[in-house]
Structures are given as structure tokens and as C-alpha cells.
Amino acid sequence: MLLESKTAIVYGAGGAIGAAVSRAFAREGATIYLAGHNLDKVEMVAKEITAEGGRAYAHHVDALDGASVDAHAETVVAEAGRLDISFNAVGLDHIQGVPLRDMSLDDFLMPINIFVRTQFVTATAAARQMAQQGSGVVVILSTSAARAPMPSGGFGVACAGIESLSRELAGEMGPFGVRVVCLRPDAIPESVQHGSYVRQTWRRAAEANGATLEDMLAAKPGMPNPLLGRAVTLADVAGTAVYLASDLSSGLTGSITTVGCGVLVD
């Protein structure tokens, strides 16, 4: 198993990406501390993991609050003895599909204030614990909106900021033996069926451009065409997260891994 004897915290573990990554980490042998604002959803994922023979514990954590995140990380280290992996999949509904010239300042700043803040709070909390033990991997989640010239409002700016954060933190943590890597998936239509906030976000964005959510999910003409001819799946993202968190990628830090089926070509 790629993550045998590893201890991981997954924030936003009740969401589509967070749950998929938590299950994948557990299948590869890691002990998972699932953190989320909605404890019922997090506990449901924990029960599914334990029913399959994995080790998972559900906790209520406000991933926007530094004190809450620090206290939880300290609890994990006290119980497990170490923290090897941190992954944050926290997301909230926000405005997309509106041209910047027509967007209010509050709507523009909302994803910047939320997405960048939570990644900073959780990544630095993990970094403080990992620096003391001299090892660990922080996997920071961005999206292809960081590179795409599309009407994503402040979300694309937030993702670009998150990627910059990952590079800066990687530079600081390298001397401590801690890796910081960034995972950049493209849109995941499958997540709409898993209760993700993106259903509302995408529906609103589609309607703002005279389309429907179904049109968007069906990838109508004019939308990006992946080289592999298919959309990204939750399994794609979870599998890549496992690789980035494992020793197989021990030479990677300060890097951004795009999971887009060829939508973006570097």
C-alpha cells in the first residue's frame, strides 16, 4: 500500500473531492482524520471507510479559523504521533459566469477571501507540525481556472493565488524535509451528482450565459475539448492525490500537477 502507516488530515471531507480523496487515502493504508463543517456528512464518509476496513475519524473543524485548525492538528498529532499528509478540498458556492466589468467587488472578493484563506490556514498549520518532525506532504488544491481565460470572477484569481502560495510555502519548507505540491484538476462534472456546491455555482454561471446546467455538463460546442475526449473524474483526482502524497513522488515539491485530460497542455 502506498500510504501504509501514514496519518492524513482531509479538510472538506464531506464534499465530492474530499470524500473521494479520503477513501483513496484509506484504501492505500493511511489513517484518515476527516475534518469538515458539516459533521453529519463527514461522519457518513468515515462510516463508509471503516465499513470497508479502513481507519477514519470524523471531526468538526472550521477550516477558515486558524485556532480551530491548529487545535485539531495538535489533537491529531497527540493521538497519532505524527501528521504525514494534509489535503484541503474545502469549497463554497460563489459567482461565476459574470463578466468582471459587471461584477460587484464583494462577489469578486468572496472566493479570494474564502479559498485562499482556507488553503493558507490549513497548509501553514500542517507545516508547523511537519517542521517539527522533519517530514510530511502538504497537497494544496487549485483548479484549471487559474490558467483559463474564462468568466470565473474572483475564483480564477483565487486559484492563481493558491498556486503562488504553494510555491512560496514549498520554498520555506524544503529545508525541513517537507514537500508542498499543488493539484490542479479541471472541472469535474461527476461532482454535481455528489452534492457538491458546484451544482449551484455552475447552474448560475450557465444561466448567466443563456444555457442550462445540462448544456454545460454535456460540453456543448465552443467549450474546451480535452485531448482524451472525456471529462475529469473524481477517481482521476483521488488517484493523483494518492501519488502526490506518497513516496513515489518524493522528488516533487513546489510543482503543480494538472489533471485535466488534456484541457491544458504545458
56 has a pLDDT exceeding 80: yes
Residue pLDDT, tens place only, 194-217: 666 766 666 776 666 677 766 666
DSSP assignment of 28-95 equals TT-EEEEEES-HHHHHHHHHHHHHTT-EEEEEE--TT-HHHHHHHHHHHHHHHS---EEEE-------
221 has a pLDDT exceeding 50: no
Report, at the CATH architecture level, how domain 7-189+233-258 is classified: 3-Layer(aba) Sandwich (3.40)
Q: What is the mean pLDDT of residues 231-238?
A: 95
58 has a pLDDT exceeding 70: yes
36 has a pLDDT exceeding 80: yes
pLDDT value of residue 3: 98
Q: What is the mean pLDDT of residues 10-33?
A: 97
Distance from chain centroid for Cα 202: 18
223 has a pLDDT exceeding 60: no
The DSSP bridge partners found for residue 4 are none
- If you average pLDDT over every residue of the chain, what do you get? 91
Report domain extents, the chain.
7-189+233-258
pLDDT value of residue 237: 97
pLDDT value of residue 200: 67
Residue pLDDT, tens place only, 122-172: 999 999 999 999 999 999 999 998 998 877 889 999 999 999 999 999 999
DSSP state at residue 257: E
pLDDT value of residue 222: 43
Residue pLDDT, tens place only, 174-188: 999 999 999 999 888
pLDDT value of residue 194: 65
pLDDT value of residue 110: 94
Region of residue 210 (phi > 0: left; psi between -120 and 50: alpha; otherwise: beta)? left
Distance from chain centroid for Cα 48: 20
Distance, in Å, from the CA atom of 146 to the CA atom of 161, rounded to the nearest integer, reads: 8
pLDDT value of residue 220: 42
pLDDT value of residue 218: 67
pLDDT value of residue 195: 61
Residue pLDDT, tens place only, 95-118: 888 889 999 999 999 999 999 999
Question: Which cell goes with 97?
Answer: 459566469
